[in-house]
A and B are shown apart, each in its own frame.
Chain A
Amino acid sequence: MTSQSAKDAQIEIRKRLAKRIGIFIAEISLLVVLAVISLRFGSVRFSTGEIINALIDGSDSTIRIIVMHIRMPRTALAILVGASLATSGALLQAVLRNPLASPGLIGVISGASLSAITIMLVFPALTALVPFAAFIGGLVATLLVFTLAWKKGMSTIRIILAGVAVNAMLGGGTSLLSVLYSDRIQGIIMWLNGTLAGKSWDQVKLLWPYVAVGLLVALLSVNVANSLQLGDEAAKNLGVRLNLARTVLCATAAFLAGISVAVVGIIGFIGLIVPHVSRLLVGSDYRFMLPSSAILGAVLLVSADIVARTVFSPIELPVGVIMAVIGGPFFLYLLRKVRGYGQ
């Protein structure tokens, strides 16, 4: 290589890296700003001065309670769940090599829903067990999908088809319960649309260790995820153990989605769209795209939650609907703006 082209090469590499890091920093800053907004605004109006005073000298306990025990845990939860769902979607898109892949596809969401709804409708006295039941239900459903998909290995098509089948069955179960216990549906409507309302530090404490583990495993698997993008044969050529890789990535995705659904109910959309947005911004190299997805997922959910609780105050809207309204059009906009994607 001539020294000139070597220098050019260096510059190119540096430029791309700089751009990616820049976007990263922007995303994190955005998250921080949104978190602050989330604490500052809510369905009850306070001035900034009031809030700061209440926090410092604990004078007004109403404000303190609202900010520290309602808004803070909600924001923390939104960050954890947003990051989990987005990461889950990113991992699945790597394994299934399908841009429509989302946590819903592998059955974890319908499994978690069915378990949670069964308890809420049929055994309401056991409501405290809903998070655990939902989690177990999600994992069992995913396991079912894997088992059905296995035939001397796990091909992408089989996973998708098995997922569709399992979703149909579990969805049928959920509908059946809704009809049989139609008088009790009222209480679970919010859960079905996903909500961060009424969540406290208890949920945060319950969730964060699992999220931490799940995200860590996801981050460590970025190289494998990258290799999978080259196709099955090329990946195998590079020494990737396909079945193991697929199983681990799918399991991690199911885990992250399962714990999210277990705590806040069904929030779709993040797992599907956020990885794409991330890809448009930082490219499809999972070393950057995965962490970026996690942060963007958090950003999206925190924003949606802020809107959900302030727009029609004092009425709370389900956060899932807000997210679709924010996210969809934004994605369309990006698709127009950024060249080179999907060509």
Chain B
Amino acid sequence: MIYAKNLSISYDKKNVVSNFTMNINEGEIVSIIGPNGSGKSTVLKVISRLMKSSNGAAFLDGSDVHSLPTKEVAKKLAILCQHNHSPSDCTVRDLISYGRVPHKQWYEFNNYDDNSIVDWAIEVTGLNEFEHRYVTTLSGGERQRAWVAMALAQKTKVLILDEPTTYLDVSHQLEVMELLKKINEEYKITIIMVLHDLNQASKYSDRMYVINKGKLVMEGRPSEVITKKMLRDVYKIDAHISVEQVSGKPLFYPLGLIKNNDRIEKSNKIVKIREAQ
């Protein structure tokens, strides 16, 4: 569905991403993880046509994403960036209605069908009681849901999200992630997201890509990716990995930063003691 081949991206002559290849199948939930500044958001922006790559190409359903007209891409792919802004008198319903823009001519207004789709998006995201509230008056989680609803109203097959949960508290984070899971399962929407919370990524993803310093480090199912070695090499942390009983997905518990060998010895000792118990 989405295929990024040998992407190299630079900002102001600085190479941010080199030779990144990614292949995403329809209906998957895929997350991209990596340390700050590793180039994750940049990759998202290139595959969603917000940015151009200096080398390599991104393909959507077989066509080069940059050769397609912007509007066409908007009908197939929706991206939700980190910082979003709505006018202070924009209601939830108003915001979601924007999602229909890619499907209209620049001079057209929303018709009955469009309104039904908006209704549907409101329903799916559970925003019924907030429909006429101003978006700026909602809580973080509710607001994020409203933006997801707008992306839903776009009726795309792919939804890309850049750090959708970073500024939210635990319960709101769950709200959003559960919503994403639901729309993936019920409506078969492919989801690609950048997440900082590794456990969250592990829990909700089918597959994960790890990127570090602009290069692809590894990819695979969460159980293959969330390993002590990966965490040590990429994040420079020492961690304890266990398996979450209900989902079977790996859970990591950070133990400490890796600064020198001493530290490693110490933490190894602790682990050994625990295992012994």
Contact A230 B70 (CB under 8 A): no
Kindly list 8 other residue pairs between chains A and B, CB separation below 8 angstroms, not including A231-B83, A238-B98. Answer: A223-B109, A227-B101, A231-B81, A237-B80, A237-B154, A239-B72, A240-B101, A283-B89
| A283: chain B residues within 8 A (beta carbon) | 89
Tell whether, in the assembled complex, residue A239 and residue B107 are in contact, meaning their CB atoms are under 8 Å apart: no
**Cβ–Cβ < 8 Å partners of B83 in chain A:** 231
Query: B82 CB to closest chain A CB, in angstroms?
Result: 9
Residues of B within 8 A of A (CB): 48-50, 70-75, 78-81, 83-90, 93-94, 98-99, 101-102, 104, 106-109, 119, 122-123, 128-129, 131-132, 134, 136, 151, 154
- State how many angstroms separate the Cβ of B133 from the closest Cβ of chain A: 10
Closest B-chain residue to A15, C-beta based?
B132
CB contact between B88 and one of A2, A236, A238, A340 (< 8 Å): that residue: A340
Closest residue on chain B to residue A9 by CB atoms: B131
Query: Which of A234, A239, A285 has a CB less than 8 Å from the CB of B71?
Result: A239
> Roughly how many angstroms separate A46 CA and B114 CA in the complex, as a whole number?
57
Contact of B123 among A1, A12, A284, A287 (CB under 8 A): A1
Measured CB to CB, the nearest residue on chain A to B90 is A284
- The chain B residue with its CB closest to the CB of A229 is B87
A230 to chain B, nearest CB (A): 6
Contact B78 A237 (CB under 8 A): yes
- Shortest CB distance A16–B (Å): 8
The answer to whether A239 touches B75, judged by C-beta atoms less than 8 angstroms apart, is yes
A55 close to B (CB within 8 Å): no
Q: How far is the CA of A223 from the CA of B105 in the complex (A)?
A: 9
Closest 3 CB pairs of A and B: A239-B74, A239-B71, A239-B102
Q: Taking A237-B48, A237-B74, A239-B74 as contacts, is the C-beta distance between A5 and B129 under 8 angstroms?
A: yes
Listed by A's residue number, 27 A-B pairs whose Cβ atoms lie within 8 Å are: A1-B128, A2-B128, A5-B131, A9-B131, A12-B131, A227-B101, A229-B85, A229-B86, A230-B84, A230-B86, A231-B84, A231-B85, A233-B81, A234-B81, A234-B84, A236-B49, A237-B50, A237-B81, A238-B98, A239-B72, A239-B73, A239-B75, A239-B101, A239-B102, A285-B94, A340-B134, A343-B136
Given contacts A220-B106, A234-B81, contact A342 B131 (CB under 8 A): no
A155 close to B (CB within 8 Å):
no
